[in-house]
Amino acid sequence: MSATTDALETVPGAPDSTPRFGRQGTRRLIGAAWPVAALVAVAGTMRFVGLDAVGFNSDEAVYAGTAASLGGDTSLEPYFPVFRAHPVLFQTLVAGVEQMLGTGTDWVPRAVAAVVGIAAVLVTFSLGRRLYGPSAGLIAGLILAVMPYHVVVSRQVLLDGMMTLFVTVALYCIVSYVESARATWMCAAGSAMGLAFLSKETAVVLLGGLFAFFALTPWVTLRLRHIVAGFVPFAALVAIHPLSQALAGKATAGSSYLIYQLSRPENHPMTFYASVVPWAVGIFVLTAAVVGLVWLRREGTWRERLLMCWAAFPIVFFTIWPVRGYQYLLPIAPVVAVLAGRAVSGLVTVRAFRRRRRTAQAAVIAVTAILVASLAVPTAQQISPSTTGSFLAGTGGVPGGREAGHWVAENVPANARMLSIGPSMANILQYYGQRKVYGLSVSPNPEVRNPAYAPVSNPDRALRRGELQYLVWDSYSAGRSPTFSAKLRGLVDRYNGVPVYSGTVGAGTKDRPVIIIYAVWPDP
């Protein structure tokens, strides 16, 4: 039997002619397994080391709280109801794992997110290998395994990691469809996109890139029955979200949140992604991807067009969209990694290396090592516990928040109510402290307010009447909302605020308060 046709050898004369592994088959099995093992080891190390060193940020608290409510935790359900805003596929997965492993720590929800991130690395490896060969796939997987953007987000209890996993699976299925013109792959792509939507509804933006690709590539066959094969499972999965809300009597939750998102004011300038994302994906990696597109343009096919459309559409959409979040462009990370892997593996085609196989391989290994090192160092710095009072939503946990919440749970009466600068710290304290916390910055105008938050229309009156007993100042919210920080400080002075808790970060003389809780009393 030819060594290139099968990894299994049939032993002649065997009574049952059962296929058995021979030497060649064993080598091929090991050769196929070691890249996967290496990627899992690297990606797992970057995602699991110090995973719960810092407590949840606001979004993590919301999603972890929702997962706990799904799992039947009645103590968190008043603060984090099941149907709050987004679909709950990821939260359901977290709830299921917590039911098996137990709850009570931040590690379990984050571990689920980390495993999802590792799976995305393996899918990216498979995508790169299918598009450009084993070397490109392995390099792409290594890049994503240590990329700051993907590592930081996939270490958090956020929806974007799972959404990125499924949209990358969908991209792999589209590649397979274009290569084979089989309706099965289109059906699989539709199913993956449906699961991506159930992870986070912004996944639908990627469909725009897919539409652009087929519109710009007319020679790729796209039959009507194949479109139907992809649309039916996608629509069926998408329908689960509104149907589940309707059956639970929460049909207005999704529409209210959509209206809020459409009416929200701009939270970052249009240059936000241009100033943040290139550094998050790696300047050298981004440069390699762009240089590869130019350098290998004569070898270009529909593959590059697909990848560029897939990445360009969300970049344009979220740049124009007034609400800009750090993690919103995470789905482009696998595309950048694959394009960079293509460029680096293409070094073997350089004229000077064509007759020097070992030299070419050494060049590829050296460049890959440089790229991986350029990513691993900033990633290690970013996943280390922060000792500053600054914070960008989506970039990690909030130092001091968990400790403050635990203090609240142990020292604040169960029926007490608190007021913080904004809803971000309120979410954190409600998750860990299980006390009602309002946000001063929450607008009383329902047209511009997140429907998940309840406003305090007249804080002075609430304090005079004794309806609020504690005020919470934190440096993170103060940095983003100095006006409301000043208002809260004014309330502290006006109502005889006495600091009963001060949380700090740093070491020694560099300690600085990041969260201060004041007990307040109205004037007699």
pLDDT of residue 395: 67
pLDDT band at 257 (very low <50, low <70, confident <90, very high): low
Distance CA 54, CA 42 (A): 22
Which of 94-103, 159-168, 432-441 is predicted with the least confidence, judged by mean pLDDT? 94-103
pLDDT of residue 499: 95
**Residue in the structure block whose two tokens are 């993170």:** 476
pLDDT band at 59 (very low <50, low <70, confident <90, very high): very high
- Residue 168: which of 180, 157, 160 has the closest Cα? 160
Confidence grade of residue 147 (pLDDT, cut at 50, 70, 90): very high
Q: Which of 43-47, 189-193, 321-325 has the lowest mean pLDDT?
A: 321-325
Query: Binning pLDDT at 50, 70 and 90, where does residue 33 land?
Result: confident
Q: How far apart are CA 226 and CA 233, in angstroms?
A: 12
End-to-end distance of the chain based on CA atoms, in angstroms?
Answer: 95
What does residue 503 show for φ and ψ, rounded to 5 degrees?
A: -100, 135
Residue 266, pLDDT above cutoff 90: no
Q: Which of 118, 144, 129 is nearest to 337 (CA)?
A: 144
What pLDDT, on a 0 to 100 scale, did the predictor assign at position 444? 84
Distance CA 391, CA 404 (A): 17
Percent of the chain with pLDDT over 90: 65
User: pTM, whole model, 2 decimals?
Assistant: 0.89
78 or 244, greater pLDDT: 78
- How far apart (Å, rounded) are the C-alpha atoms in residues 310 and 316? 11
Q: In what order do the strands lie in the sheet with 436-439?
A: 436-439, 417-420, 470-474, 512-519, 498-505
Across the range 348-375, mean pLDDT stands at 81
pLDDT confidence band for 19 (50 / 70 / 90): very low
pLDDT at 368: 95
Q: Which residue has the tokens 């970057």?
A: 46
Report d(CA 398, CA 481) in Å as an integer.
17
Q: 10 Å Cβ neighbour count for 283?
A: 12
Tally the C-alpha atoms within 13 A of residue 299's C-alpha that lie toward its C-beta: 11
For 33, the token pair is 């397994």
Q: Which residues contact 14 (CB under 8 A, 6 or more apart)?
A: 20
* Banded model confidence at residue 360, pLDDT cuts 50, 70, 90: confident
Span of 6-20, 187-201, 457-471 with lowest mean pLDDT: 6-20
163's enclosing H/E stretch is helix 160-180
What pLDDT does 348 receive?
73
Burial class (CB in 10 A: 0-12, 13-18, 19+), 361: middle
> How far, in Å, CA of 282 to CA of 376, rounded?
10
Across residues 138-159, what is the average pLDDT? 96
Token look-up 């560029």 returns 308
| CA–CA distance, 255 with 445 (Å, rounded to integer) | 17
The CA-CA-CA angle for residues 321, 326, 329, to 5°, reads 65
Answer whether residue 10 shows pLDDT above 60. Answer: no
Q: Say whether pLDDT at 7 is over 90.
A: no
The model's pLDDT over 309-332, given as tens digits with 9 standing for 90+, comes to 999 999 999 999 888 889 999 999
> What DSSP string describes 81-121?
-SSSSS--HHHHHHHHHHHHH--SSSHHHHHHHHHHHHHHH
**For residue 389, what pLDDT is reported?**
42
**Helix, strand, or coil here: 350?**
coil
